[in-house]
Amino acid sequence: MVEVDLKVRHGNFHFEIACKFAAPWTVVFGPSGAGKSTLLRLIAGLEQPDAGRISIHGQYILDSEIGLKAPPGRSMIGLVAQQPALFPHMPVTANVAYGLAGRADMGRHTKQRRIAAMLQLAGASHLADRWPKALSGGEAQRVALARALAPMPRLLLLDEPLSALDASARDQILSNLKDWLKDEKIQTILVTHDAADALATEAEVALIAEGKLTALGPASDVLAAERERLLARLQSGQAAPGKARAKIKSRVRPAPFQG
Amino acid sequence: MDWQAFALTLKLASITTAILLCLAVPLAAWLALGRSRWRAVAEAVTGLPLVLPPTVLGFYLLVLLGPLTGFGRAIASMLGHPLAFSFGGLVVGSVIYSFPFAVQPIAAGFSSVDRSLIDAARMLGAGRIRLLGTILIPLAGRSLLTAAILSFLHTMGEFGVVLMLGGDIPGATRTLSLVLFNQVEAFDYASANRTALLLVIFCGVLLTVVYARPKSLMAGERHG
CB contact under 8 A, B139 and A88: yes
Tell me the per-residue pLDDT of B162-181, one tens digit each, with 9 for 90 and over: 888 888 888 889 999 999 99
Identity at A120, one-letter amino acid code = Q
A134 touches chain B (CB under 8 A): no
> What chain B residue is nearest to A48 in terms of C-alpha separation?
B35
CB B141 within 8 A of CB B217: yes
Mean pLDDT for the stretch of residues A235-254? 50
- Which residues of chain A have a CB within 8 Å of the CB of B33? none
Q: How large is the C-alpha radius of gyration of chain B?
A: 20
Which residue among A46, A87, A102 places its CB closest to the CB of B125? A102
Chain A contacts of B117, Cβ < 8 Å?
85, 87-88
Q: Which ipTM was obtained for this model?
A: 0.82
For chain B, the domains span: 3-223
Domains and CATH numbers, chain A: 1-76+193-259 (3.40.50.300)
Domain spanning B3-223: CATH 1.10.3720.10: yes
pLDDT tens, residue by residue, B106-148:
999 999 999 999 999 999 999 889 999 999 999 999 899 999 9
What are the pLDDT tens digits along chain B (224 aa)?
Answer: 789 999 999 999 999 999 999 999 999 999 988 878 888 899 899 899 889 888 888 888 888 888 888 888 888 888 888 888 889 989 999 999 999 999 999 999 999 999 999 999 999 999 889 999 999 999 999 899 999 999 999 999 899 888 888 888 888 899 999 999 999 999 999 999 999 999 999 999 988 887 886 654 444 444 43
Q: Which sign does the torsion angle of CA B194, B200, B204, B207 carry?
A: positive
Answer yes or no: are the C-beta atoms of A97 and B132 closer than 8 Å: no
B139·A78 Cβ contact <8 A: no
φ/ψ (deg, to 5) at A39: -60, -45
What is the rounded average pLDDT for all residues in chain A? Answer: 85
Binary contact (A78, B123; C-beta < 8 A) = yes
Whole-number pLDDT of residue A226:
53
Contact between B103 and B39 under an 8 Å Cβ cutoff? The reply is no
* Contacts within 8 Å (CB) and 24+ apart, A222-231: A222/A29, A222/A252, A222/A254, A222/A255, A223/A29, A223/A195, A223/A198, A223/A199, A223/A248, A223/A252, A224/A252, A225/A251, A225/A252, A225/A253, A226/A195, A226/A199, A226/A251, A226/A252, A227/A199, A230/A195, A230/A196, A230/A199, A231/A199
Count of pairs with CB atoms under 8 A, one residue in A, one in B: 65
Q: What is the pTM of this model?
A: 0.81
The residue among A156, A136, A154 whose CA lies nearest residue A146 is A156
Amino acid at A217: G
**Residues of chain B with C-beta less than 8 angstroms from the C-beta of A79:** 119-120, 123
Q: Across-strand partners of A63?
A: A53, A68
